[in-house]
Amino acid sequence: MSDPARSATDPPAPIVYALHDVHYVYSGGHVALDGIDLEIRQGEQVALLGANGSGKSTLLKLLDGIIGPSAGTMRALDRDVVALADGEDAFRFHREVGLVFQDPDIQLFSATVFDDVAFGPLQLGLSPDEVKRCCDEAMATMEVTHLADRAPFELSGGEKKRAAIASVLSLEPQVVLLDEPTASLDPRTKWVLVNLIRRLAAQGRTLVTATHELDIVPIIADRVVVLGENRRVLADGSPDEILADRDLLIRANLIHEHLHEHGRVRHAHFHGDDSHHDDPSAEVDHDLVDLLAKPTA
């Protein structure tokens, strides 16, 4: 999925982000990132995995420049972002980076979808023709052109997600950050969105997607970064490597192990994060591995 125009003999793509020992402390003293070392190159598609509270959303906000590091160094898009006294000062990379929040209601606030998609370009003072071109392209990419005159609040969850991404794409950012883009979507809508995310990758953009859904990772990413519960990078590798490392996934709390007893047999199942223990069909629906199949008596 990496840039098809690049060959193995090409020099490495330029570095878009270089973070060294980056910390982020929320006002009130809560440590959300505790020494992040990370480099991301142009055109990479990175999946950001980690348990609840491991710092994924905080890291995305940092990459977007909404917040700055509390300590450590960050070079982003050819700029040095120095540690800021309280970490809260904004440093936005206006056109180059777009962050799609998990909750589309934060992103969509105008009377119509078109107004939301046009908001960014209008703020930049582009000409009416240029605004229309950027909006038409963004809405076509996310397949929301037919929703242009609709009010965002009356859209379905999947339509809102697509409109929210279009509102970010209209600024034509080279880096797109997605915070749990497929959370709370039904399976069909989820896969529609996954295909649209692939389209962004095919356009050569740099993508960083925080997700809990392991099944979409090999499709939307060529690299996986796992944040540990110590709020540091626990692993960094290809989707194949990371998703095959069951011990790592358990350690990072991305899958969990249950011991089940069926009559006299006890065995362990591994469940993805989206499994539902109360749902009797869950054992059939998930890729379960019998580890310790053995009699209990």
| Binding residues vs ligand ATP (CB under 6 A) | 26, 28, 30, 32, 50, 52-58
If you compute the radius of gyration of the chain from its CA atoms, what whole number of angstroms results? 21
276 binds, among ligand ATP, Mg ion, none (CB under 5 to 8 A by kind): none
Residue with token string 């209990």:
296
**Least Cβ distance, residue 34 to Mg ion (angstroms):** 16
Nearer Cβ to ligand ATP (53/237): 53
Q: Which is nearer to ligand ATP, 60 or 139 (CB)?
A: 60
Q: Which is nearer to Mg ion, 76 or 178 (CB)?
A: 178
What is the closest distance, in whole angstroms, from the C-beta atom of residue 23 to Mg ion in the complex?
A: 18
What would the two tokens of residue 140 be? 């076509």
Location of structure tokens 């998930």: 286
Residue 12 DSSP one-character state: P
Distance CA 232, CA 235 (A): 9
Burial class (CB in 10 A: 0-12, 13-18, 19+), 100: buried
Toward ligand ATP, which CB reaches closer, 50 or 72?
50
As a whole number of angstroms, the distance between CA 58 and CA 251 comes to: 21
Query: If we measure between CA atoms, which residue out of 97, 64, 99, 62 comes closest to residue 83?
Result: 62
From the list Mg ion, ligand ATP, none, partner contacted by residue 81 (C-beta under 5 to 8 A by kind) = none
User: Which of the listed partners (Mg ion, ligand ATP, none) does 262 bind, with a CB threshold of 5 to 8 Å by partner kind?
Assistant: none
Work out what residue 53 binds among ligand ATP, Mg ion, none; the CB cut-off runs from 5 to 8 Å by kind: ligand ATP
Q: Under the rule (CB under 5 A), what is the footprint of Mg ion?
A: 56-57
DSSP bridge pairs for 175: 97, 206
Supply the minimum distance, in Å, between the C-beta of residue 145 and ligand ATP. Answer: 31
